[in-house]
Structure 1
Amino acid sequence: MEPYWKDEDTGIYLYLGDMREVLPALDVKADLILTDPPYGETTLAWDRWPDGWPALAATVTNSMWCFGSMRMFLDRSPEFADWKLSQDVIWEKQNGSGFTTDRFKRVHEMATHWYRGNWRDIHHDTPRVPSLGLHQGSARVRKEADRAAHTGRIAGSEWTDDGTRLARSVLKARSMHRRGAIHPTEKPIAGLLEHLIPYACPEGGLVVDPFAGSGSTLDAARQAGRRAIGIEKHEPYAEAAARRLSNLVLGGIA
């Protein structure tokens, strides 16, 4: 198939069409799928769940980040039968977009990580973030006394404190609303995608987004030194994503 847009230097390709037709035709093996599928929870024309896509994704990769709501994952749980859930990460936004007044104001989305096969064979490298207020600069050895925990007693330990800690499972990042968003559900790179991609895809690896939307995944993969393939069914969004990616290439933005 001919790509809708491509940059061979960085290995970024965007295809126009239904992922259930395009993905098998590409015949690729990816290190990671990172995607935000249509949840099928609104009346918007593009918000239609593509039946069978998680099973198709399982033919391409053994590792997948998938955005979604709890309702979506519960309603569609049989379609994830080929996958095992490793963890869920919460994206906390600065504000919500819901208009219901009889529930808590929704200011978060879930990103779930799924895998196939043995966990030891899956690339997972949790990003580390600065530990503010703790020792900075040269590393130092820290000791921790024995302590009890709800999972059993944990023995004391000793480790080198380099001023960083594992990234937490709640990631705070401003949503793209009113910030020149290309797509209504566009995901931010800073604070969100920049953590998910390095965790599950090795440097130089291939990331696939079957529902490319604004092209955020492709842009984030390029910035992280990964190759990427995106598929978008709706041409207005594919055109906007291609324009975004072209501007990045021409402008030399890192």
Structure 2
Amino acid sequence: MPEHYYRDDTVTLYHGDAREILPALGLTADLLIVDPPYAETSLEWDVWPTGWPQLASEVSRSMWCFGSLRMFFDRGPEFTDAGWKMSHNVVWEKANGSGFTTDRFRGVHEHVVHWYQGPWADIHHDVPKTSYSGPNKSARGKLSQTTHTGAIGAHTYTDDGTRLMRSVLYAAAPRKGGHPTEKPVNGLLDPLIRYGCPVGGMVVDPFAGSGAALDAARLAGRRAIGIEGREDYCDSIAQRLSCLTFDFGGAA
């Protein structure tokens, strides 16, 4: 077994190449949260880790993966050849975009694609809900017809004052300066984890970066394992997690 870099009651962090450490752990995760290098710049760290989708398929049957459309178009065969099937995607809208190009719209979003393996009915999926204060939509009907989806049939609907969370999530990108691609816990990572992993389940992040997904997982009452290739980031993650107070038994 690889030696852990950090460990507490709910999170374990390893330092090294995920493509070497994941197989050595021999684990099964409820959900993968993956934010790989997109390989779209000339930056030293922005290099695609070839082969990781195949290794990921041996660890879990459910995965959220961050990326751009270009990344998913370019790397699509790596996902499908490994048996991954796309269920849907969420758009993360940031407060400010990045990049210096002036010949296209300013990029203020990223895609988060949900991939799965095997029968959809076997995959944990629990869409978070948000409060709703508009008109009551309770209804009963013998037949409902929607032009683009067909007949629904007889139904009864009781408005409980909530709505399914929408597929465009607005959350300002963290501005702490510790990691160039850090994702926000509240408003983004938290609902993704709640959707794909049951309470008490296991989340694995093979490119842990800032440790935000590990932070979000345990705050949501899930266990987490992270892998990070850079030791300075591992040190930052360990400090981040050590500073948090957490009551695992009371989380939901």
Q: Is the 8 Å Cα contact of residues 219 and 246 (structure 2) preserved in structure 1?
A: no
Residues 1:201 and 2:167 aligned together = no
Q: Cα deviations across residues 82-104 of structure 1 (Å, max 9, x unaligned)? A: 20000010001111112111001
Alignment of 1:9-28 (within 5 A): 9=9, 11-28=10-27
Alignment of 1:111-130 (within 5 A): 111-130=112-131
Q: Cα deviations across residues 135-165 of structure 1 (Å, max 9, x unaligned)? A: 5xxxx84346834322224446421111100
Deviation at 1:71, TM superposition (A): 0.4
Matched residues in 2 for 1:77 and 1:98: separation?
A: 24
Which stretch has the larger CA shift, 48-57 or 234-243?
A: 234-243
Deviation at 1:108, TM superposition (A): 0.4
TM-score by length of 2: 0.92
SS at structure 2 position matched to 1:76: helix
Q: Is the 8 Å Cα contact of residues 134 and 163 (structure 1) preserved in structure 2?
A: no
Matched residues in 1 for 2:12 and 2:193: separation?
A: 17
2:60 counterpart residue number: 61
Matched residues in 2 for 1:91 and 1:158: separation?
A: 33
SS at structure 2 position matched to 1:3: coil
Aligned residue identity for 1:165: R
Matched residues in 2 for 1:174 and 1:48: separation?
A: 25
2:168 counterpart residue number: 170
Deviation at 1:133, TM superposition (A): 3.0
Matched residues in 1 for 2:23 and 2:234: separation?
A: 19
Root-mean-square deviation (Å):
1.9
Matched residues in 2 for 1:159 and 1:45: separation?
A: 54
1:52 counterpart residue number: 51
Residues 1:93 and 2:94 aligned together = yes
For this pair of structures, how many residues does the alignment match?
245
Q: Cα deviations across residues 60-115 of structure 1 (Å, max 9, x unaligned)? A: 00000000000001111111022000001000111111211100111100000000
Q: 1:167 to 1:32 in 2, by over 3 A?
A: same
2:29 counterpart residue number: 30
SS at structure 2 position matched to 1:98: coil
SS at structure 2 position matched to 1:41: coil
Alignment gaps of 5+ in structure 1: none
Identity, in percent, stands at 59
Matched residues in 2 for 1:243 and 1:200: separation?
A: 27
TM-score by length of 1: 0.91
SS at structure 1 position matched to 2:20: helix
Matched residues in 1 for 2:247 and 2:127: separation?
A: 31
